[in-house]
Amino acid sequence: MRTGLDHVPPSKQRELADVVRILFEEFEITHARGNADWNRKGRIFKIVLYGSYARGDWVDDPIGGYQSDYDILVVVNYERLAEFEHWSAAEDRLMREVTINRTLTAPVSFIVHSLKDMNAQLERGRPFFIDIVEQGIALYEAEGYEFAQPRNLPPDEARIEAQKHFDTWFESAAAFAASAKFLVERGNFNEAAFNYHQATERLYHCTLLVLSLYSPKSHRLNFLRSQCEQIAPPLVEAWPRDAKFGRRCFELLRLAYVDSRYSPHYKITAEELGWIGDRVAVLEGLVDKICRDHTAALGSADRAAE
């Protein structure tokens, strides 16, 4: 794993240093009062930059509405510490730094895994984690906690697993999309918004699982969208960012997971749902093609290896 950030502008290097500082500060605050052994002895072993900023192909186009995220992997010493409840304050603070304080010019998307789980994923040959080790840049590393040697996953094993993921998740997404259309016709707009959220979430999980055999346990559409668009850039087409109406519709879709069910203030119109439904259909078509092309390529690679 690399350690240099020379390819990143100095201003971005300073922002990444702030991200590391905030993650440590919020981690320490969250666990200051914990009595459990895993809490008191909790440690961050590594903080790794991966994705477009690590590779050097990030996009920063605020006018067009597309900006790459800072993608961060946090490696901790206990599995319990990888649960989202321990990191929600850090996520909220990083979001405020982007949207309110404006100290960060790019959103921060981070995932948390224990060192034990990371090494298990590497030993199983998971492409997502192998790419992080091979392309990632260590922003912080404690000495003496190395990653395991990755396994070379045979294409046929990858194809079989990818196909299972596709069969499960794509069908589930299609069912939620169909339910959403039915609910729109009934006039149940909030319920339709939730179902479109679920269709979109499942399409993104499908993409990640087929292409990388890994998907984070998250309902956050902006996070899942960012992760998917990095490994499958054609998916950017699904959600145009160049118009205020489209950005508003995606925000309503993002909020639908909770607010459409529990907030009396959540409102969405037939026009907004119509636009969302059209874009979900576009996303569905793109995911179908991308996933089928990937599994076909894995099959070709397996036959070539025989």
Containing structural domain, residue 118: 10-141
Q: What is the CATH number of the domain that holds 171?
A: 1.20.120.330
Q: 71 and 190, same structural domain?
A: no
Rounded distance between C-alpha atoms, residue 266 and residue 190, angstroms: 8
Residue 288 in any domain: the answer is yes
Q: Which residues contact 8 (CB under 8 A, 6 or more apart)?
A: 16, 53, 56
Residue 149 in any domain: the answer is no
User: Where would I find the beta strands (DSSP E) of the chain?
Assistant: 44-50, 60-61, 66-67, 70-76, 108-114, 137-141
Domain boundary among 141, 173, 199: 141
Residue among 118, 117, 122, 97 at smallest CA distance from 107? 97
Q: 92 and 53, same structural domain?
A: yes
Half-sphere exposure of 60 (CA within 13 A, CB side): 12
Which residues pair with residue 204 across a beta bridge? none
Q: 159 and 134, same structural domain?
A: no
Rounded distance between C-alpha atoms, residue 55 and residue 204, angstroms: 22
Which whole-number Å values give the CA distances from 41 to 24, 38, 76, 90, 298, in the listed order? 14, 5, 11, 19, 43
What per-residue confidence (pLDDT) applies to 3? 85
The single-letter DSSP state of residue 2 is: B
Q: Which residues contact 272 (CB under 8 A, 6 or more apart)?
A: 248, 249, 252
Q: 195 and 109, same structural domain?
A: no
Rounded distance between C-alpha atoms, residue 223 and residue 204, angstroms: 10
The token pair at 58 is 């990030």
Rounded distance between C-alpha atoms, residue 290 and residue 270, angstroms: 30
Residue 242 in any domain: the answer is yes
Sign for the CA dihedral angle at 46, 110, 294, 65 comes to negative
Residue 196 in any domain: the answer is yes
Q: Which residues contact 67 (CB under 8 A, 6 or more apart)?
A: 59, 60, 61, 105, 106, 107
Residue 5 in any domain: the answer is no
Q: 113 and 162, same structural domain?
A: no
Domain boundary among 83, 113, 141: 141
Q: 221 and 112, same structural domain?
A: no
Q: 279 and 243, same structural domain?
A: yes
Q: What is the CATH number of the domain that holds 71?
A: 3.30.460
What per-residue confidence (pLDDT) applies to 102? 93
What per-residue confidence (pLDDT) applies to 98? 93
Q: 300 and 167, same structural domain?
A: yes
Q: 25 and 113, same structural domain?
A: yes
The single-letter DSSP state of residue 4 is: -
Rounded distance between C-alpha atoms, residue 49 and residue 47, angstroms: 7
What per-residue confidence (pLDDT) applies to 258? 96
Domains identified in the chain, total number: 2
pTM of the model: 0.88
* Tens-digit pLDDT string for the chain (306 aa): 788 999 999 999 999 999 999 999 999 988 776 666 666 688 999 999 999 999 999 988 766 667 889 999 999 999 999 998 889 999 999 999 999 999 999 999 999 999 999 999 999 999 999 999 999 999 999 999 999 999 989 999 999 999 999 999 999 999 999 999 999 999 999 999 999 999 999 999 999 999 999 999 899 999 999 999 999 999 999 999 889 999 999 999 999 999 999 999 999 999 999 999 999 999 999 999 999 999 999 988 766 665
Q: 193 and 118, same structural domain?
A: no
Domain boundary among 141, 175, 209: 141
Q: 117 and 173, same structural domain?
A: no
What per-residue confidence (pLDDT) applies to 59? 86
Residue 186 in any domain: the answer is yes
Residue 76 in any domain: the answer is yes
Q: 293 and 191, same structural domain?
A: yes
